[in-house]
Amino acid sequence: MPPLRRPSAKAPAARGDSLGPRRDPLEDEARFLRSWFERPLVTGAVTPSGKMLARTMASYVDPRREGPVVELGPGTGPVTEALIRRGIAASRLILVEFNPDFCRLLTRRFPGVTVIRGDAYDMRATLKTVLTQPAAATISSLPLFTKPLEQRLDLLNAAHDLMQPGAPFVQFTYAVVPPIPARCEAGSYTADRSNRVWLNLPPARVWVYRRP
């Protein structure tokens, strides 16, 4: 699928300058709920990530590390907003979203980002013509537990293949177990976890995977 792009603009000098129309949490929840009813296995969550969870996910991305930042399944953009507020320039963000309504919303809400409508589980093909250098991080809000473990591992391996050495793959989950096993017998990745984010509804935890 060809990328949906906004006209190019200068990178913002301040953290919040690249934010477009203000996000309405109630309106976003309604969008998510409607999308979930239509495609529950694709949308996964009934509501967008809360601010505290979004900030926790963004905190694992170092804005000093150069290179693009890939976000998978951004939805209505709460994590995108947290990344920009953390200091990641909008021009560095590549958002991969399957829902066409969310794609249009993200393009309008975050001027300067690159929005790709495509399959995040097929990262190599989806980002083939867009990602021109190794990514500094991958942030995922995909509902991984709707997919078999083999497909989740394929996603993790694809993300690491497209990233810089040691770059983080950041994934949240509502479950008490990790979305991808924390221990890897083959030693192809390491895993760390955050404390449970109790202020999110429902409470969630962030897992960070790196290739040694």
Task: Tell me the pLDDT band of 23, cut-offs 50, 70 and 90.
Answer: low
Q: What percent of the chain has pLDDT over 70?
A: 77
Per-residue pLDDT reduced to its tens digit, 108-117: 999 999 999 9
CB-based contact 29:56 (threshold 8 Å): no
Task: Tell me the pLDDT band of 30, cut-offs 50, 70 and 90.
Answer: low
Q: Averaged over 186-191, what is the pLDDT?
A: 91
Q: Averaged over 72-87, what is the pLDDT?
A: 96
Lowest mean pLDDT among 1-15, 75-89, 159-173: 1-15
| Sign for the pseudo-dihedral over CA of 149, 117, 56, 61 | positive
CB-based contact 52:81 (threshold 8 Å): no
Lowest mean pLDDT among 24-38, 61-75, 78-92, 194-208: 24-38
Separation between Cα atoms, residue 128 and residue 162, nearest integer Å = 10
pLDDT of residue 14: 42
Lowest mean pLDDT among 5-14, 129-138, 161-170, 174-183: 5-14
Higher-scoring residue by pLDDT: 101, 27: 101
pLDDT of residue 212: 86
pLDDT of residue 185: 80
pLDDT of residue 25: 60
Q: What Rg, from alpha-carbon coordinates, does the chain have? A: 16
Task: Tell me the pLDDT band of 22, cut-offs 50, 70 and 90.
Answer: low
Q: What percent of the chain has pLDDT over 90?
A: 72
Residue 144: C-alpha distances to residues 4, 100, 161 (Å): 25, 20, 19
Per-residue pLDDT reduced to its tens digit, 178-188: 999 999 988 89
Q: Averaged over 122-137, what is the pLDDT?
A: 96
